[in-house]
């Protein structure tokens, strides 16, 4: 249940990548964001390590250059990008290696941009739904993947981190809510009485909260971070030429 919803706020994209520029998107989870930025006029490259996913991504992402590679060993020249973007994916990386690679491929003054979209449980009915689902899967709707951003704490390459949060509302029907819980592998594996009990409890949350015929509005928090690169840790000056140019 980590699929990024539609209707992503343009203000969040504009804050993460404020100018049309050369953007490196990391991993297939960043594919939707890469497509939006391409449509906004950015020159976008997406790196994905799973070679089986490359062809589908190329078909899906018109105008985006899709290349095979790992975040901790990018097959790219130094100082090639104005921004490195990761959505819903920092927790999948080895930050000690990946952050150094991001700093290497960024131009001086370039930015690392991160975002996580999570359900906002400050709304009472969402809290009730979370309580129902977490009785079966304690990890659901916890937003714990966001904790991976603490990898930037004390990082010499990205010392000053800015943070903004944006609100997004997505309509959801009763059937849509029941379908949503089925996308969680652990919940989908329930059978018999347990599955029926869960479905009944989720339907009860919806029925007690919605005002028919209007759908419920599911709230999301789009949490964003950005940081300008600091390349003082490098012993050589990075250029956009192949390899490194050593200055004496």
- 189 domain residue, yes or no: yes
pLDDT of residue 234: 79
- 148 domain residue, yes or no: yes
pLDDT of residue 156: 95
pLDDT of residue 247: 37
| Residue with the larger pLDDT of the pair 23 and 192 | 23
pLDDT of residue 172: 93
Mean pLDDT of the 235-243 span: 54
pLDDT of residue 140: 78
| Start-to-end CA span in the chain (Å) | 52
Mean pLDDT of the 68-81 span: 96
Residue 85 has pLDDT above 80, yes or no: yes
- 208 domain residue, yes or no: yes
Average pLDDT along the chain: 89
Residue 244 has pLDDT above 90, yes or no: no
CA distance 17 to 12: 9
Residue 101 has pLDDT above 50, yes or no: yes
Mean pLDDT of the 192-209 span: 94
Closest CA to 113 of 78, 74, 73, 162: 162
- 243 domain residue, yes or no: no
Greatest alpha-carbon pair distance for the chain in Å reads 73
- 4 domain residue, yes or no: no
Query: Which tokens hold the place of 239?
Result: 């250029």
Residue 110 has pLDDT above 80, yes or no: yes
- 15 domain residue, yes or no: yes
CATH code of residue 222: 3.40.50.150
Q: What is the pLDDT of residues 131-160, one digit of tens each?
A: 999 999 887 777 788 999 999 999 999 999
pLDDT of residue 183: 79
- 233 domain residue, yes or no: no
Mean pLDDT of the 192-206 span: 94
The number of distinct structural domains making up the chain is: 1
DSSP-assigned states of every residue in 70-127: BTTB--S-TT-EEEEEEES-GGGS-HHHHHHHHHHHEEEEEEEEEEEEEE-TTSHHHH
Query: pTM of this prediction?
Result: 0.81
pLDDT of residue 2: 41
Q: What is the pLDDT of residues 5-63, one digit of tens each?
A: 557 899 999 999 988 799 999 999 999 999 999 999 999 999 999 999 999 999 999 99
Residue 1 has pLDDT above 70, yes or no: no
34 is in which domain, residue-wise?
10-228
Q: How confident is the model at residue 245 (pLDDT cuts 50, 70, 90)?
A: very low
- 32 domain residue, yes or no: yes
């Amino acid at each position: 249940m980590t699929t990024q919803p539609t209707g992503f706020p343009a203000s969040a994209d504009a804050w993460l990548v404020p100018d049309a520029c050369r953007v490196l998107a990391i991993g297939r989870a960043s594919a939707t964001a890469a497509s939006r930025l391409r449509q906004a006029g950015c020159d976008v490259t997406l790196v994905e390590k799973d070679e089986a996913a490359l062809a589908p991504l190329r078909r899906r992402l018109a105008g985006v250059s899709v290349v095979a590679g790992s975040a901790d060993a990018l097959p790219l020249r130094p100082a090639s990008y104005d921004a490195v973007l990761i959505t819903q994916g920092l927790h999948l990386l080895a930050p000690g290696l990946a952050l150094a690679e991001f700093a290497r491929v960024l131009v001086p003054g370039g930015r690392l941009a991160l975002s996580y979209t999570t359900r906002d449980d400050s709304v009472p009915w969402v809290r009730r739904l979370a309580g129902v689902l977490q009785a079966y899967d304690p990890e659901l709707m916890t937003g714990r993947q966001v904790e991976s951003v603490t990898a930037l704490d004390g990082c010499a390459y990205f010392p000053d981190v800015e943070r903004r949060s944006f609100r997004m509302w997505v309509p959801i029907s009763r059937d849509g809510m029941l379908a949503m819980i089925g996308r969680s592998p652990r919940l989908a594996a329930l059978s018999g009485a347990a599955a029926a009990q869960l479905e009944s409890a989720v339907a009860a949350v919806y029925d007690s909260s919605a005002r028919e015929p209007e759908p419920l509005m599911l709230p999301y928090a789009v949490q964003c971070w950005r940081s300008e690169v600091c390349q003082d840790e490098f012993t050589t000056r990075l250029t956009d030429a192949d390899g490194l140019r050593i200055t004496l």
